[in-house]
Amino acid sequence: MSTNSDYAALALRLSSGALFVAHGLMKVFVFTIPGTVGYFESLGLPGFLAYLTIAAEVAGGLALILGVATRAVALALIPVLLGALWVHSGNGWVFSSEGGGWEFPLFWAVVQGAIALLGSGAYALKPSARAAALA
């Protein structure tokens, strides 16, 4: 039997996972991998972090959508979002600012913390122990 919080966790998990997959694929198909690597390097970051970021966003997003290792994945994605927060910190508060502001990466990091606390919720491939006990 699923609770309201299980459905809330599902909504956060699916929406956040879809956004991660979209952001990761945007780095591949819109900005291109070489373009993303170049951007990371222009920030003074090693280029290999671009590959790790793309992999984390796509694989992590899919894991969230499926409800696999939800708590660990959500926690593992927080450093990616803190990196995005750092990148956008000089652009002001509003994400519609030129270069994107910092409120969206900060909010998204908080969402990952909430997902880590809530767990997988309803309709996960690997339900949390609490959800399994209630079933």
Distances (CA, A) of 81 to 20, 97, 125, 130: 10, 18, 25, 28
pLDDT at residue 57, as a whole number: 98
The ranges assigned to domains in the chain are 4-125
pLDDT at 60 over 70: yes
Q: What percent of the chain has pLDDT over 70?
A: 93
Q: Tell me the pLDDT of the chain averaged across its residues.
A: 93
Considering the entire predicted model, what is its pTM?
A: 0.90
pLDDT at 1 over 80: no
pLDDT at 130 over 90: no
Give dist(CA 80, CA 73) in Å, integer: 11
pLDDT at residue 92, as a whole number: 86
DSSP 7-37: HHHHHHHHHHHHHHHHHHHHHHHTS-HHHHH
pLDDT at residue 95, as a whole number: 76
Give dist(CA 56, CA 15) in Å, integer: 16
Summarised one tens digit per residue, pLDDT across range 9-45 is 999 999 999 999 999 999 999 999 999 999 999 999 9
pLDDT at 58 over 60: yes
pLDDT confidence band for 124 (50 / 70 / 90): very high
The residue written with tokens 């339900």 in the block is 127
pLDDT at residue 120, as a whole number: 94
